[in-house]
Structure 1
């Protein structure tokens, strides 16, 4: 028999532009929610941007009004609301939702993704946001088709590593990934990358053209922005698509609109910050269904760089900020 939840729990509250450990009440799930006992939670760069006010969380993802940090988690269902149709106490689930940095989270059951038995708690915690973001960018927004050439800018990030694998799994003919770190570039081939490039080199767009027989990338997934996005236009195939997701290299870019039009490139901006609850429910369900076989078989797996105890969350944030991580940084709640 499952152990009932306690009255209070540990949580990382967002206070005065920083994180603070607090003891707060365990949430009571509503009729459409489940209560999840957290086993692990992953850090995202967005967690850090929230602190300086440069990232606004979608209210549709909010698990509670109290400002608790975290957007990615995994755990075991501890209680179920009366209108939840299929989820049961004891189920292993992962999710993209706010308030993940706490011992318990009450979350709408339609945001849950089942955890394959082949994934550990740490791996599962590192999966939801990256999988949903990159599946949506590649398949839904980008319309990736088998045999196309894909370029992932920022491929060594937690989301980038999932993007390259999803592209490979979906049948991309060529997967090109970027990193400015030479050691990280040597690791990308384990995650579906055929050609690794350094966007600090002025000729990197030419390398993409060479790798694709002069064709260019049919689909570019851009986590960098800035000048990398400008240069990506030269690396994109005529009639190709760029899906812009992040701006690690800068929030502003001066684009040659003549080049954009001449090459007939579609430039799509994508985020979950402005999507409705129904849209979030739909993409979570579609991603879970489409990627479950690959996750179960191990064809797709997150790269976890380091695991920190929950009590050392601030050290984990500092490590992520340092830029050393290849893939995800995860908090262990054991």
Structure 2
């Protein structure tokens, strides 16, 4: 089969289309004919050599796909049929014509969503639901600060937090993106992090109290500022390291606020844990998708053979929402 591989760590130019073996189908897995695959920041980190796949996972990039079921492992009992349109959360292997994935990480395509657009959903929905609600325990009426509000994860986080009754503050890097956060996605406050002090704006917005939850993809660069922006009993959830992995923090400030700093990843979690997350996505996120209450924003699509161009565009930071590869 055809798949996109990275011959060695580097920029987008290291990605190329190659012939690779068809994935072996495990007893608890389903085989999917891929129709589209989402590009995520983790794919970029893997391409650069800083985020290898977990043991046993495919070394082909790609953590989410849409497609049709092409086969079943001997132990699969989920109510699917051959040809069903599905979405899947992966540990790797998505930039390919076929992928094998544990059945618990596969969900039916939500009603009203076309199958290409559906590839924009699995990774971001699972990441946001598991971290904002299962880990941070975001509650109605609380204030959440979401960094990178117009990226694929940010777009989902802003909307799910609003749907849950939270007050949403989000950051972005241009006035156009800031305007979109407020006027289109419904953020209560949007901040241009290039020209504004987000800690000051958060404190002004909350009457000096700070944010109850901070959802951060930046990491080290924002650690001290994020702790400063937390409210009493606040929860800072770090899911990305775009701004580095090592930083100092004033533990006195953290202790005085009785706050928590939580670091999480999704990719390396056991299949059983991912299955529970996907069950939560089906129960709590899919209804919002199907009734039109959650906007799915696909910025651009590229053919699989143009994965290098797609990564170059993704790396530019110009996109709003998701960038997809199509087969």
Checking the alignment, whether the CA contact within 8 Å between 1:158 and 1:302 is kept in structure 2 is: no
Q: Which residue of 2 aligns with 1:3?
A: none
Shift of 1:26: 3.0
TM-score (norm 2): 0.92
In 2, Cα distance between equivalents of 1:258 and 1:151: 22
- Is the 1:240–1:265 contact (alpha carbons within 8 Å) kept by the matching residues of 2? yes
Contact 2:3 2:17 in 1 (8 A): yes
Q: 1:180 aligns with which of 173, 196, 220?
A: 173
**Which residue of structure 2 lines up, in the alignment, with residue 89 of structure 1?**
82
Match of 2:101 in 1: 107
More moved, 90-99 vs 250-259: 250-259
In structure 1, distance between residues paired with 2:61 and 2:237: 27
Question: In structure 2, what is the Cα distance between the partners aligned to 1:29 and 1:275?
Answer: 20
Quick check: 25-34 or 145-154, which moved more?
Answer: 25-34
- Tell me if the contact between 1:58 and 1:272 (Cα under 8 Å) persists in the aligned partners: no
Cα distance in 2 between the residues matched to 1:166 and 1:178: 16
* Alpha-carbon offset, residue 119 of structure 1: 1.4
SS at match of 1:302: coil
> 1:254 — aligned with what?
248
For residues 220-257 of structure 1, give each alpha carbon's deviation from its aligned partner in whole angstroms, at most 9, with x where no partner exists: 10111233221122221111111111122232222111
Deviation of 1:29 (Å) = 2.6
> Corresponding residue for 1:216?
210
CA RMSD of aligned residues (A): 1.7
User: Who is 2:258 aligned against?
Assistant: 264
Alignment TM-score, normalising by the size of structure 1: 0.91
Answer whether contact 2:214 2:236 (CA < 8 A) is retained: yes
Gaps of 5+ in 2: none
1:124 counterpart residue number:
118
Per-residue CA deviations over 1:173-196 (Å, capped at 9, x if unaligned) read x10000122211111122231110
Aligned-residue offset at 1:326: 1.1
Query: What is the aligned length?
Result: 320
8 Å CA contact retained: 2:145, 2:168: yes
The Cα shift of 1:305 comes to 1.1
Name 2:44's counterpart in structure 1: 48
